[in-house]
Amino acid sequence: MTAPTMETNLVSYQGRYAGSVSRLAAYAIDFPVTIAVFYVVLAVISFFAQVVTGNPIHWNKANILVGIVFVAWHLFYMGYSWAASGRTFGMATLGICVVRADGTIVDSRHAFLRALAFPLGILTLGLGFLGILVQREHRALYDLIAGTAVVYAWDARAARLRFLARQAEFGVPAIPAPTEAGPSAGSAPTEAGPSAGSAQAAAAPEGAQTSTGSS
C-alpha cells in the first residue's frame, strides 16, 4: 500500500526555494536574538570592568563605536552560522537553510561573503531584496554576489516517520495516493515522497516556490 497523500504534502517543500515570508520571519527572529546576546556581553564586560577598576562602565547606545561593533557582531553571527550549519537560529526555526547556487553545502568562504554583502540590501534602499520577490530562485543581491540560495530543509524522512507514528497512534486508516500510469499495466505504484538519496541531493533546489514565502 502506498503512503498517504497527506504525508506527501508534509515533505513536498524540501529543497524548494524559500520565499519572502519565510526569510523575513527568520530574520525577525535572528535580529532580536543578536541584540539580546550583544547587550548581555556588554553587561558582562561592564561587570568585570567594575570589579577590576571599581568604576562602572556605561554604554551609550547612540555611540557610533557601539553601533559599529554591533553591526560587526551581527554580520559575524550570520556568517559563522551559515558556515557552521548553513542556517541561523531563526532559519533553523523556520526550516530553511543557505546552500550554494548549485544546491551543494555552503562553505565558509561563500558564507562569510554572503554576510559581508548582506548590508547591500539595505544600502540600496531595499532594492537589493527585490530579487526575493521577483526572481524565480528568490535570490537577493547578496545571494547573487556570494553564489548562494535559500531553500527549505525539512527532514523528509523524519517528517514521514512522525506522520506514520501519529497515524498509528490514532488508528487513522491510510489513504492510498493516486496511482500513475507506468511502463506496463502490471507495474506496482511507487511510494509517494522523495526517493532515498544523499542529504546533499535532498537539499538541492528543485524549482521556484509556488507561494511567496524571506533572510
What is the pLDDT tens value at each position of the chain, 215 positions in all?
444 444 444 445 677 899 999 999 999 999 999 999 999 999 998 888 888 888 878 888 788 999 999 999 999 999 999 999 999 999 999 999 999 999 999 999 999 999 999 999 999 999 999 999 999 999 999 999 999 999 998 765 566 667 777 777 777 655 554 444 444 444 443 444 444 344 444 444 444 443 344 57
Give pTM, 2 decimals.
0.67
Domain assignment of residue 45, yes or no: yes
Residue 176 in any domain: the answer is no
Give the other-Cβ count within 10 Å of 152's Cβ. Answer: 23
Q: Is residue 210 part of a domain?
A: no
Range of the domain at 94: 7-170
User: In the chain, how many domains are there?
Assistant: 1
Placement of cell 492510498 in the chain: 176
Domain annotation covers residue 75: yes
**Residue 179 is assigned to a structural domain of this protein:** no
In a domain, 193, yes or no: no
Q: Is residue 19 part of a domain?
A: yes
Place of cell 548590508: 119
Residue 53 lies in a domain: yes
